[in-house]
Homo-oligomer: A and B are copies of this chain.
């Protein structure tokens, strides 16, 4: 068995990024992101896996305050609608949450998915037609983790109407605005996800999410179960 494992420091870097990455909304600083850093983040995204090597993503790099304000207005509309889903204390708590940093962050980045890239028959995208969207998500996570390692915060704004966002950015019809991200230096990375810290929702115990061979089966390997509890 060949050992392709990274050094301890290198593995630590990866796990730090995974465990200390946050969805940033409130801690953005106005300082610009250095071009070499932003370039590394974009290359990281571009090196995500994609179904049939389709690379369906594009990157709309936004620094115009007019575009940011237009997107913020879309957020405000969608968020006002969303607030109606809650009542009582939960509604009050929802309205107190700051859920985006669109104007506060120096760079906004829309990672899109061109659903027609690679022609009508993309290898591996026959039975799961959304595999192109899924590939684009993998690019988002590459960028998100690389940003954490560079000390850059990222927040994903999902509270916008995708068709209005596409219109604001002038996207062609087959291009879906999958992820609208806010990027910037931050005053701090919170020790835990913000929604966990404010008591909105708790982290689920990993053991409860494990199944063995089928949904109704239990994991039989006790050494795996103890390792999961200990790590």
Contact = CB atoms under 8 A, between A and B. Distances in A.
A151 to B, nearest CB: 4
B14 A149 contact: yes
A61 interface: yes
A9 to B, nearest CB: 4
Contacts of A185: 1-2, 4
Interface in A183-231: 185-189, 193, 195-196, 200-201, 203-204, 206, 209-216, 219, 221, 223-224, 226-228, 230-231
Number of copies: 2
Interface secondary structure of A, over-half rule: mixed
A1 B34 CA distance: 12
A182 interface: no
Nearest to A179: B134
Given A141-B138, A188-B2, A216-B170, A11 B150 contact: yes
Contact of A213 (B29, B47, B67): B67
24 contacts: A3-B151, A10-B16, A10-B149, A14-B17, A14-B145, A14-B149, A18-B47, A18-B142, A36-B227, A40-B231, A52-B195, A52-B200, A53-B196, A57-B209, A63-B213, A64-B213, A78-B126, A82-B124, A82-B126, A86-B121, A97-B123, A137-B141, A142-B145, A169-B215
Interface in A121-138: 121, 123-128, 130-131, 133-134, 137-138
A105 interface: no
Interface residues of A, number: 124
Contacts of A161: 127
Contact of A2 (B126, B187, B193): B187
Contacts of A175: 215
Contacts of A86: 121
A185 B175 CA distance: 37
A153 B35 CA distance: 33
Contact of A127 (B6, B62, B137, B162): B162
A147 B20 CA distance: 18
